[in-house]
Amino acid sequence: MTRKHVLPRLALACGLFLVPQIAAAAPAAEPVLERLALCQDSWLDWQKAADPRLPQIAAHFRAAYTHSDNDPFAIPKAPTTILGLRVVQVYPSSVGMGVGFSVLVDAPFDKARPLVERAVGKPLAHCDTSDGMKSCELGIAEKRTLTLMTQDDPKIVQTLIGCYYYYEK
Residues in the chain: 169
**Residue 5 within any structural domain of the chain:** no
In this structure, what are the phi and psi dihedrals at residue 106, rounded to the nearest 5 degrees? -90, 75
Query: Which stretches within the chain are classed as H helix?
Result: 31-37, 43-48, 53-64, 109-120
pLDDT of 61: 86
**Count of structural domains within the chain:** 1
In whole numbers, what is the pLDDT of the chain averaged over residues?
A: 79
pLDDT of 146: 93
**Residue 19 within any structural domain of the chain:** no
Residue 94 identity (one-letter amino acid): S
**Residue 114 within any structural domain of the chain:** yes
Beta bridge partners of 40: none
What are the b/e assignments for 76-110, b being 16+ CB within 10 Å? beeebbbbebbbbbbbbebbeebebbbbbbbbbbe
Residue 11 identity (one-letter amino acid): A
pTM, two decimals, is: 0.78
User: In whole angstroms, what is the distance from residue 87 CA to residue 41 CA?
Assistant: 18
**Residue 107 within any structural domain of the chain:** yes
**Residue 11 within any structural domain of the chain:** no
User: In whole angstroms, what is the distance from residue 80 CA to residue 28 CA?
Assistant: 5
Asked if 87 and 104 count as a contact pair (C-beta separation under 8 A), the reply is yes
**Residue 10 within any structural domain of the chain:** no
**Residue 75 within any structural domain of the chain:** yes
pLDDT along the chain (169 residues), means of 10: 26 29 58 90 79 83 88 92 94 71 94 96 92 92 89 89 74
pLDDT of 15: 30
pLDDT of 160: 95
Q: Which domain holds residue 121?
A: 29-166
pLDDT of 143: 80
**Residue 14 within any structural domain of the chain:** no
